[in-house]
Amino acid sequence: MKLRYLLLLLMILSFSSIFIGVKQLSPLDLFHLNKNEMQILYISRIPRMVSIVLAGMSLSICGLIMQQLTRNKFVSPTTAGTMEWARLGVIIAILLFSSASIVVKMLFAFVFALFGSFLFVKILERIKFKDTVFIPLVGLMLGSVVSAISTFIAYQYNLIQNVNAWFEGNFSLMMQGRYELLYLSIPLVIIAYLYANRFTVAGMGESFSVNLGLHYRRVINIGLIIVAVISSVVILTVGMLPFLGLIIPNIVSLYRGDHLKNSLPHTAILGAVFVLFCDMLGRLVIYPYEISVGLMVGIIGSVIFLYLLLRRKAYAT
């Protein structure tokens, strides 16, 4: 699939998503908007579309970076427990500072997500059994333990209902003043592109990277910091989007290969297209009501993930 076709599809879906909602708007209305329609467009619909694109792009790239650094196609912020660590960080921030600002929550989420990512990498270094499915299984178990701790803490302090509603992937609350934190992902995506060749070399192993003169640990740290910051930003603004960082890089690798710099633009745009499609589908299935995008991404993503697993077994035989 050529990049220009993906860009065209992204533009079509982005434009179409602006006109889907309880308040009826059509492309013809753009030429004679009244005050109420202008407020809906600029305060709600456009911020929602922008946040979907940014979240889809950034989380897909996070998955690509983690898969490259761990040399495993089934590793992502979801299967490595990074999102669960970020969630725990936000809960701790709420407990310590009841009126914590979004910046304080993000700092706690970043520190916990970064710690969780480093812990996962350290565990991988000590695992001798390097089966493709076994490694993300370790991450899922670690994430489940962290999630259980988060749930216990939230339950003890009567936060369980608020926390569950808050961290469920949902773009319905994306309005002007709530989504701007996602703009932090833009410079991080640019840094990821600039370091793409280094990430590719680092993915070949420490000894190979050192022989080529690459500072292996520094590159790994930069990659994990990018993943931790983006995961923190997305979970604070949007919530959990399961399987996104897992399936999109795998789909792109089927037709673009494993060279990160070549596949990164495709991964970013396809991730945005996928989340846009899931969000639009969630708004239309039971219109005028809405199914959260986290649920839609989880359902469709799990089906694609099962297909990738079965495909792997088929090629193995």
**Closest by Cα among 234, 233, 230, 239 to 172:** 239
- CB-hemisphere CA count at 13 Å for 156? 9
* End-to-end CA, the chain: 28
* DSSP assigned state of 258: S
pLDDT per position as a tens digit, 156-180: 887 776 666 666 767 766 666 677 7
Contact 80, 120 (CB under 8 A): yes
Contact 74, 132 (CB under 8 A): yes
Q: Which residues contact 238 (CB under 8 A, 6 or more apart)?
A: 51, 55, 169, 170, 171, 174, 182
What pTM was estimated for this model as a whole? 0.85
Distance CA 3, CA 141 (A): 37
Q: What is the mean pLDDT of residues 117-131?
A: 76
Structure tokens at 135: 């490694």
pLDDT of residue 29: 67
Going along the chain from its start, the domains and CATH numbers come out as 46-316 (1.10.3470.10)
**Three-state SS string across 6-29, please?**
HHHHHHHHHHHHCCCCCCCCCHHH
Contact 297, 244 (CB under 8 A): yes
Q: What is the CA 12 to chain-centroid distance, rounded?
A: 22
**Closest by Cα among 86, 94, 80, 79 to 159:** 94
Q: Please give the full DSSP string across 186-239, using - where no structure is assigned.
A: HHHHHHHHHTHHHHHHHTT-HHHHHHTT--HHHHHHHHHHHHHHHHHHHHHHT-
Residue 314 clears pLDDT 60, i.e. is over it: no
**Closest by Cα among 275, 277, 249 to 262:** 249
pLDDT per position as a tens digit, 230-247: 888 888 788 788 888 888
pLDDT per position as a tens digit, 128-166: 556 666 777 788 888 888 888 888 888 888 777 666 666
